[in-house]
C-alpha cells in the first residue's frame, strides 16, 4: 500500500499541523525531520544508530544511487530498505537538485526532453528525464518518490521562472503517467521563487494533477534569503490540500524548521546536521558550537546537557574535540548522532506544543535561548 | 590494584595456555586478541561497538596521545578509560615503535638518554626517554604499560642487536625505577631478532628485573619473515615465567595468532583488522576477500556465513562493497567490526580447543580451510 497521511490536529494560533503517516514500515508522526542518507547511508552511522536518534522517514538521493551502484543493483537486492538495512520508511528525491548542483563544471543543457549533463564522477554524458527519474525511483522502491523538477537559481528572473514552472508541470505529468510502483507515493513539487502569483499558479496546477503529497522547492538553493524562504512557504501552503503531506525540501536549521511548521509544513530534510558534524559543529540549546575551538580541549562535559542522545550519554566535548582535531572519523559520527537527535527531538517538542496550542510560545522561548549571546 | 594473571591450564600437545586476567575493569580470558585504538579510538567505532565484538583489553598508542591531545588532558579527564569511554582494561605501548616508524623522514638520533626525533605532525623536535614514556603512561592510567625499548630494523646485524638489547635493558631498569602508578602493571620487552642466544640473554636479563608481564618485540617491524617471527617466539618463551602474561606485539594475521598461541603466547594486538577493513578487505573462514572486486556488486549474502558479528547480522557484501566503492566511511566501520570480531572469535575457539587439548587439530583444520583455493 501507499503511505497514508492523517491530519490529527491543527494549532489554534498558527498553521501548524499534527499528523500521522501510515507506511508499510510502521507509523510515524509529523512534523518530522528526515535525516539524509545520500548514497544509501547516513554518513558514518549504522541504520540502528539512525533509528536510535528517533528517526522516522529517512531520505536517499536518486541521482547518487543511479550513478552508483545503479538502480538495478538496488532492485536486485530487494529494494532500498533491504539494500541499506533500514526497516523504516524511505523518501527518494528526483535527482533534479543534484543534476543542477553537481553536474560537472555545473554545465547542463535543459531541454523539453530533460536535462543533459556530465557525471560529476567521471564526466560521462548523461540525460535525466522525468520518466527516467520515476523509473529509477520505482526500482529503488522508496515509500515516497518525487516528481522531476527544474531547480532554477535564486537569481532567475520572473519570466524565466514562469517558463520553468510550466515545464516542471509538463514534466510532473509525464512522470506521473509512467509511475508504476503500487507501494510508492508520488509527490508533486511547487516552485515559483518568492513570487506570490507564481507560487499560487504552480501550487494550483500541481494540485490539479492529484499527487499523493506536495513539496515546496526552490527554497534551499544557493542564495535564497530567509525572507524568500518564508514567502515561498506562505505563498504555497494556502493552495495545498489539508489531507496531504507538505514537505519543505532541503531545510534543517532549527529556527527554519520552527518557522516552517508554523506556516503549515509537515516534513523537512537536510544534510546540515551531518555535514556540520564532520566539521566539528554541534547544535545546542544555546546555538551552534564549534568543537575545533581550543576552549573545549579541557571541557569534559557533554555537548548539550539537555540532550538524551547516545553521544551525550557517553562522550564529552573534550574527547570529541580530540577526535575532530586529529581527524578520527568517529568524531563526525558522534556529532552526527547528536545533531540528528537534536533536530528530531526539536520536532518531538514541536508536536507536544501543537497538542497544547502553545507552539508560538515554544518558538519564542526556543529562539530566545538559541540566539542568546 | 594491578592486573593479576592466573594460568588455568596448559595444552597437553603444545605450549598453548589458557589463562585469566583480573583487572580493575573486569576479568578477561586468554589467549586474547586486542583491538587497537591508536588515538584513543578504534577507528570508526564507538566503544560499545568494540565491546559488542567481544573485546577484553584494547590498546592505545602512547606516542600519538602524547602528541595529541597530550597526556595531561587525558589525565584531567580522569584517565584514558573515562576519556575514551572504555569500561574495560586498556594497554598502552611505550611509544618506542612509533618513534622508530613515524619520526619525520624516519630520521632519529638514538642516544643513551633516549631518542631524539621530529614530530610526524609538525616537525617539532622531540625527545622520548624511558622515564618520559613511563611518566606519560602513568598519567594515561592504562592498566598495562610497556617499557621503552629500541626497535631495531630487521636488517640490523648481530653486534648492533646485542648493543641494542643491552641499552634496552638499561632503559627498562630506568623506566621501572620511575614507574609510580599503583594500578598499572609494567611489562618488560624481549628483543634479539631471530638469534637464539640474544633472545635468551634478553629474556633472562629482563625477567631478572621482575616485571608484571613480558612482551616479545621485534617481530612485526618491516621485513621480518614468518620464520623469523616463529624463531623469535620459540627462542624467548622458554625463559619467561609461567605465572606472567606473554604478549606478542603487533601480530594479528589469523595464522600467526594460532602459531603464536601454540608457542606459548597469551595476548596479541594489531591494526590489521581495521586497516584492511578501510581498504575493503575482510577475513573469512576461506581466507581474506577484497570487496572492491566487481564480483561482489550483486552478492547479497553476508561477509562470512559462520560469523555472528553485527555486520554479518545486518549487512551484505554487495552493500558494503557499494559503501567502499563510493568512499562512505561506514563501509570501513562495518568491515572493522567484522574483522575484529573474526579475530576475537578465533581466540574464543582457540580457548575452547585448549580446554579439550585439541588445539593442534583445530589449527590444521583452520589453516586448511583458510588457505584452500
- Tell me, what's the pLDDT at B104? 76
Minimum Cα–Cα distance from A299: chain B residue: B77
- Alpha carbon distance B50, B331 (integer Å): 16
Work out the average pLDDT over B136-151: 97
Q: Does residue B370 register a pLDDT over 90?
A: yes
Of the partner residues A40, A300, A321, the one whose CB lies closest to the CB of residue B322: A40
Per mean pLDDT, which of B97-106, B117-126, B166-175 is the most reliable?
B166-175
- Tell me, what's the pLDDT at A221? 74
A320: nearest Cα among B53, B211, B39, B258:
B39
Say if pTM beats, i.e. exceeds, 0.90.
Answer: yes
- Tell me, what's the pLDDT at B155? 82
Burial label for A155, CB within 10 Å (0-12, 13-18, 19+), is exposed
- Tell me, what's the pLDDT at A224? 79
What beta strand segments (E) does chain B contain? 4-10, 17-23, 26-30, 32-34, 58-60, 90-92, 108-110, 115-118, 125-128, 144-146, 185-190, 213-216, 245-248, 267-269, 281-284, 287-290
- Tell me, what's the pLDDT at A164? 96
Active site residue B269: yes
User: What's CA B271's distance to the chain center, in Å?
Assistant: 8
Confidence of residue B348 (pLDDT cuts 50, 70, 90): very high
Q: Does residue A373 register a pLDDT over 90?
A: no
Confidence of residue B16 (pLDDT cuts 50, 70, 90): very high
Contact state of A73 with B322 under an 8 Å Cβ cutoff? yes
- For residue B328 the three cell numbers come to 562512505
Contact state of A318 with B85 under an 8 Å Cβ cutoff? no
Q: Does residue B105 register a pLDDT over 80?
A: no
3-state SS assignment for residue B11 = coil
Active site residue: B143, B149, B256, B269, which one? B269
User: What's CA B282's distance to the chain center, in Å?
Assistant: 19
Query: Measured between beta carbons, which residues in chain A are less than 8 angstroms from residue B333?
Result: 44, 46, 329, 333
Show the DSSP H helices in B185-328 as ranges. 196-208, 226-236, 254-262, 272-278, 310-314, 317-326
- Tell me, what's the pLDDT at A111? 95
- For residue A158 the three cell numbers come to 520572473
Confidence of residue A86 (pLDDT cuts 50, 70, 90): very high
Burial label for B109, CB within 10 Å (0-12, 13-18, 19+), is exposed
Q: How many CB atoms lie within 10 A of CB A305?
A: 9
A359 phi and psi angles, rounded to 5 deg? -70, -40
- Tell me, what's the pLDDT at A57? 98
A348: nearest Cα among A319, A303, A317, A309:
A309
List pLDDT tens digits, range A41-76: 999 999 999 999 999 999 999 999 999 999 999 999
- Tell me, what's the pLDDT at A107? 85
Q: Does residue B303 register a pLDDT over 80?
A: yes
Q: Does residue A222 register a pLDDT over 80?
A: no
- Tell me, what's the pLDDT at B220? 81
Q: What is the ipTM of this complex?
A: 0.97
Say whether residue B47 is in contact with chain A using an 8 A CB cutoff: yes
3-state SS assignment for residue A186 = strand
Confidence of residue A100 (pLDDT cuts 50, 70, 90): confident
Say whether residue A284 is in contact with chain B using an 8 A CB cutoff: no
Chain B closest-CA separation from residue A328 CA (Å): 7
Of the partner residues B43, B318, B330, the one whose CB lies closest to the CB of residue A41: B330
Chain A closest-CA separation from residue B209 CA (Å): 37
Contact state of B319 with A83 under an 8 Å Cβ cutoff? yes
Confidence of residue A220 (pLDDT cuts 50, 70, 90): confident
Q: Does residue B187 register a pLDDT over 80?
A: yes
Average pLDDT taken over every residue of chain A:
96
Q: Does residue B368 register a pLDDT over 80?
A: yes
Minimum Cα–Cα distance from A44: chain B residue: B330
A342: nearest Cα among A314, A303, A315:
A303
Q: Does residue A105 register a pLDDT over 80?
A: no
Cβ within 8 Å of residue B324, ≥6 positions away: B280, B291, B292, B331, B332, B335
- Tell me, what's the pLDDT at B324? 98
Say whether residue A314 is in contact with chain B using an 8 A CB cutoff: yes
**Cis peptide bond upstream of A167, omega within 30:** no
Of the partner residues A44, A297, A328, the one whose CB lies closest to the CB of residue B73: A297
- Tell me, what's the pLDDT at A101? 85
Q: Which of A113-122, A344-353, B328-337 has the lowest mean pLDDT?
A: A113-122
Domains of chain B (ranges plus CATH)?
4-268 (3.20.20.105)
Tell me the catalytic residues of A: 93, 269
Give the pairing of strands B213-216 and B185-190. Answer: parallel
List pLDDT tens digits, range B228-261: 999 999 999 999 999 999 999 999 999 999 999 9
- Interface with chain B: mutation pick from A60, A120, A321, A330, highest number of B CBs within 10 Å: A330
List pLDDT tens digits, range A145-163: 999 999 888 788 999 999 9
Proportion of chain A above pLDDT 70, given as a percent? 100
Work out the average pLDDT over B99-107: 82
- Tell me, what's the pLDDT at A153? 83
Query: Measured between beta carbons, which residues in chain B are less than 8 angstroms from residue A313?
Result: none
Amino acid at each position: 500500500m501507499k503511505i497514508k497521511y492523517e491530519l490529527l490536529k491543527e494549532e489554534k494560533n498558527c498553521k501548524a499541523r499534527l499528523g500521522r503517516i501510515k507506511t508499510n514500515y510502521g507509523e510515524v508522526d509529523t512534523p518530522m525531520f528526515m535525516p539524509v542518507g545520500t548514497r544509501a547511508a547516513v554518513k558514518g552511522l549504522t541504520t540502528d544508530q539512525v533509528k536510535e536518534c528517533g528517526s522516522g522517514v529517512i531520505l536517499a538521493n536518486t541521482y547518487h544511487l543511479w550513478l552508483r551502484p545503479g538502480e538495478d543493483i538496488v532492485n536486485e537486492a530487494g529494494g532500498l530498505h533491504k539494500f541499506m538495512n533500514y526497516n523504516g520508511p524511505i523518501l527518494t528525491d528526483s535527482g533534479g537538485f543534484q543534476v543542477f548542483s553537481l553536474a560537472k563544471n555545473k554545465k547542463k543543457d535543459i531541454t523539453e526532453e530533460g536535462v543533459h549533463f556530465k557525471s560529476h564522477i567521471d564526466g560521462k554524458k548523461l540525460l535525466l528525464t522525468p520518466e527516467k527519474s520515476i523509473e529509477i525511483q520505482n526500482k529503488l522502491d522508496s515509500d515516497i518518490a518525487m516528481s522531476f523538477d527544474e531547480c532554477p537559481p535564486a537569481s532567475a528572473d520572473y519570466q524565466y521562472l514562469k517558463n520553468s514552472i510550466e515545464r516542471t508541470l509538463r514534466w510532473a505529468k509525464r512522470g506521473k503517467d509512467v509511475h508504476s510502483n503500487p507501494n510508492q507515493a508520488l509527490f508533486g513539487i511547487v516552485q515559483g521563487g518568492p513570487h506570490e502569483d507564481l507560487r499560487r499558479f504552480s501550487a494550483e496546477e500541481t494540485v490539479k494533477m492529484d499527487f499523493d503529497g506536495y513539496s515546496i522547492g526552490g527554497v534551499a538553493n544557493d542564495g535564497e534569503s530567509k525572507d524568500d524562504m518564508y514567502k515561498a512557504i506562505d505563498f504555497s501552503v494556502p493552495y495545498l490540500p489539508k489531507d496531504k503531506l507538505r514537505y519543505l525540501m532541503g531545510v534543517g536549521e532549527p529556527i527554519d524548521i520552527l518557522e516552517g511548521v508554523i506556516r503549515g509544513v509537515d516534513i523537512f530534510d537536510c544534510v546540515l546536521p551531518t555535514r556540520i558534524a564532520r566539521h566539528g559543529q554541534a547544535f545546542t540549546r544555546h546555538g551552534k558550537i564549534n568543537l575545533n575551538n581550543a576552549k573545549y580541549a579541557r571541557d569534559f562535559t557533554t555537548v548539550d546537557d539537555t540532550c538524551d542522545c547516545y553521544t551525550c550519554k557517553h562522550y564529552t566535548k573534550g574527547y570529541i574535540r580530540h577526535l575532530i582535531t586529529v581527524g578520527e572519523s568517529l568524531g563526525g559520527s558522534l556529532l552526527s548522532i547528536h545533531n540528528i537527535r537534536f533536530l528530531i527531538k526539536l520536532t518531538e517538542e514541536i508536536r507536544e506544543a501543537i497538542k497544547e496550542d502553545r507552539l508560538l510560545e515554544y518558538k519564542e522561548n526556543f529562539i530566545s535561548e538559541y540566539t542568546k549571546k
